[in-house]
Structure 1
Amino acid sequence: MKYDVAVIGAGPAGLAAAIEAKKNGAGKVIVLERDFEAGGILNQCIHNGFGLHYFKEELTGPEYAERFIDTLNETDIELKLNTMVLSLDKDKRIRAVNPCDGGIDIEAGAVILAMGCRERPRGALGIPGTRPAGIFTAGTAQRYVNMEGCMIGRKVLILGSGDIGLIMARRMVLEGAEVMACVELMPYSAGLKRNIVQCLDDFDIPLYLSSTITEVRGKRRVRSAVISRVDKDRKPIAGTEKEIECDTILLSVGLIPENELSKEAGIELDGRTKGPIVYENMETSCPGIFACGNVAQVHDLVDFVTMESNQAGRAAAAYATGKKETGGKTFDVYAGKGLTYVLPQRARMDGIGSFLELFFRVDDVYQNVQVAVSTAQGRIARFKREYVVPGEMEKVRIPKKLLDGGEIRLELEAAQ
């Protein structure tokens, strides 16, 4: 089967990208989703707070997803659910399978990767102790409680302070559980400030920073966990152990972009974001293959996922229909001092409009700093920030007239 644009994933990124591609002239568009319904992670995010930037109103996760599902259903975009993509190559050939069609071979003019990300499991952490029941990733717990109607525990300890963990702290209290504490390895929270206030402070849930679980106790079910303070090298400090009684541990310790298909297609990955390296239009190192949403960088707001995916959808439609040249002088974008990453990592002068938008995260909590943008000739722009934290993605817009086509670097420095 041949399509102009094929989208892998029907979460918020894939839905927005497919709709935007259709709006911008793509003829035949197909969306492939391995789950039994579209919407992705939003289906289990029944709390509100979505849509404030994009729709200018407050929605729950399912309501936000429904807006795009309804729009998709008004088009002739083909949506295949229960469909697992098995392979993708650099020539944009897709092999998938589902119960109805069996094996499916797709040739696409452009492909959009929107597979999202997965949670880091316990096995990646190496927590000492026994292996009892009662240990879940925060996202798995969220699905059990919000979608399956299963109560997972009564005394809950949360490791990590990512947004899903914070939100589940509140959710478990509302369901009648006692949340003993939220334990964070770093000296700052990894979640949004509003979630710290609304999910921990408003429910008197303690947050232990610079701390971690050093032992899990229990035979068949978690009975307790030992937490310890850590030093500047993130090593447990002897003598600071504290045992906390609990029957459930939730892990909110980071998200990893789904990279299997990207690797198979030979797409170049960024060691910092762990996702594909992309250009200003979200195109990867393989021409005609684009990436957006959490597969490219982990977002804290779904509104920004939608905006980024709209860009990928427009670019994919242009590529598939031959309406846009992708040549021009190419330059790299680097993350310097104080930044963990910057995206896009590359840009082409011909593809930049009036501004080049760059997204980044900082590596610590900073006050009264400025984001300095430099080329080989020196500083070309500075953007002041009164307060930045790792849990919140930042953005700067650099006027194209300031760019000379050479590499640029972003870094933090003290505000002048």
Structure 2
Amino acid sequence: MNRNVKKYDIVIVGGGPAGLAAAVAAKDSGSDSILIVEREQELGGILNQCIHNGFGLHTFKEELTGPEYAARLISQVKDRKIEYLLNTTVIDISSDKKITALNKEFGIFDIQAKAIVLAMGCRERSRGALNIPGYRPAGIYSAGTAQRLVNIEGLMPGREIVILGSGDIGLIMARRLTLEGAIVKVVAELMPYSGGLKRNIVQCLNDFDIPLKLSHTVVDIEGKERVTAVTIAEVDSHNTPIPGTEKRYVCDTLLLSCGLIPENELSVGMGVEINPVSNGPKVNECLETSVSGVFAAGNVLHVHDLVDYVSSEAGKAGKQAAEYAVRLDVKRTGRDIPLELEGGIRYSVPSTINPRYINEDLVVRFRVGAVMNNKTVNVYVNGNRIQKKTRKVMAPGEMEEIVLKADVLKGYQSMNQLKICIEEA
């Protein structure tokens, strides 16, 4: 059956902060044919349930709540008269950039794009992926689900809480539930370091005397109809529970804050190459994926700690998508150089660069695999150190970045090696 095909220069999949910022940047770069496709009933994404402050200091130069930050971006989209579809689910994207979507108004329909920006965000790691023994009683929630229940639905998930995982959402919910009158008994973290920002550990746990137990995990969940108790234990260097270290906490709720997974099922389906470490697409200096004309930004690319970084990254993706839609089939020339990573760097964004397309300073973001003190981040081109940055402390929960100078990179048109390495200060 032939379906009518809607045509746009740029289609942005996802109407959260990344999608909104990409759309604004694409419009400001001269594109007038833009569509945002969002599966929820409103724009803004996860920001709508993040009622705490701490957003916007980089982007808007003032401290905002999540809904306030989202409202600023939504206003920018509406002021520019950028089209968007709500309650619309993308079910497939082909390698030739044809999008198949579904909603109540149009049924199943197709959209042909010249360029696509992937901005689907991420989802929480589920209990099933964590292998926790016990029954499946009521009272087990992801931290994000609990956040939505409290902040949007006005419902309390429980009164006596244990939290597994020290990701930022879990830390923030420890404070939020305490302020609502619940008792948060402990936050257990499998790793020997926290997965969240240092400021959230201080403001959400330390300020409320909530204990954080590193190198601990849940080994038993009691209760058939409803959670009645949770047992945690210390783990060894192989993450195996140590006998004799068990401690039982009577509680009615277990929150899981055990990491985020970029939503890349659509990306994989269209043939985008995925970085096995970040679980996001491999991208070049333009944030373009391995599929020509398909760009990625935000938490679908890699999990960010600040939404301000999401916005700036997505702005670049939107600008590059607009440029691609104009030049279309002009092929890239020159060689893409992979970023070699040493000294404990787990991944970087971008994964490759081509010096011919570096027209402005390039921000490289990365995460380390362990807590590090008094180190330097060094950048080498063809074996020559071109840049260094000293860091007193680096931790896996905090995203790092280094800015590579365009004029320096331009001087290496014959570049055959680019390496970022962490070394002793």
TM-score grouping bracket, smaller chain normalisation: over 0.9
Question: What amino acid does structure 1 have at the position aligned with 2:76?
Answer: T
Shift of 1:316: 0.3
5 Å matches for 1:4-403?
4-322=9-327, 326-403=332-409
Aligned partners of 1:271, 1:352: CA distance in 2, in Å?
Answer: 26
Which sections of structure 2, spanning at least 5 residues, go unmatched?
1-5
- Deviation of 1:32 after TM superposition, in Å, equals 0.2
CA distance in 1, matches of 2:341, 2:152: 39
Aligned to 2:205, the other structure's residue is in SS state: helix
Please name the residue that 1:413 is paired with. 423
User: CA–CA distance in 1 between the matches of 2:279 and 2:119?
Assistant: 14
Give 1:95 deviation, angstroms: 0.5
One-letter amino acid matched to 1:270: N
Q: 1:330 to 1:57 in 2, by over 3 A?
A: same
Q: State the Cα distance separating 1:410 from its structure 2 match.
A: 1.6
TM-fit CA distance, 1:327: 3.1
Alpha-carbon distance, 1:143 to partner: 0.6
TM-score for both structures, normalised by structure 1: 0.97
Q: Secondary structure at the match of 1:360?
A: strand
Rounded to whole Å, the distance in 1 between the matches of 2:337 and 2:366 is 17
Q: SS of the residue aligned with 1:49?
A: coil
Code of the residue aligned with 2:262 in structure 1: it is: P
| TM-superposed deviation, 1:350 | 1.9
Q: Distance in 1 between matches of 2:186 and 2:417?
A: 45
Match of 2:54, SS?
strand
Contact 1:332 1:406 survives alignment (8 Å): no
Work out whether residues 383 and 417 of structure 2, in 8 Å CA contact, stay in contact via their aligned partners in 1. no
Distance of 2:361 and 2:85 partners within structure 1 = 37
SS at 1:333 equivalent? strand
8 Å CA contact 1:34, 1:84 repeated in 2? yes
SS in 2 for 1:129: coil
C-alpha RMSD of matched pairs (Å): 1.3
Letter matched to residue 390 of structure 1: P
Distance between the aligned counterparts of 1:347 and 1:375, measured in 2? Answer: 12
Q: Is the 8 A contact 1:326 1:350 kept in 2?
A: no
Identity across matched positions, percent: 53
Amino acid at match of 2:288: E
Code of the residue aligned with 1:336 in structure 2: it is E
2:134–2:220 Cα contact (<8 Å) kept: yes
Shift of 1:287: 0.7
Task: Give the CA deviation at 1:325.
Answer: 6.8
Deviation at 1:333, TM superposition (A): 0.8
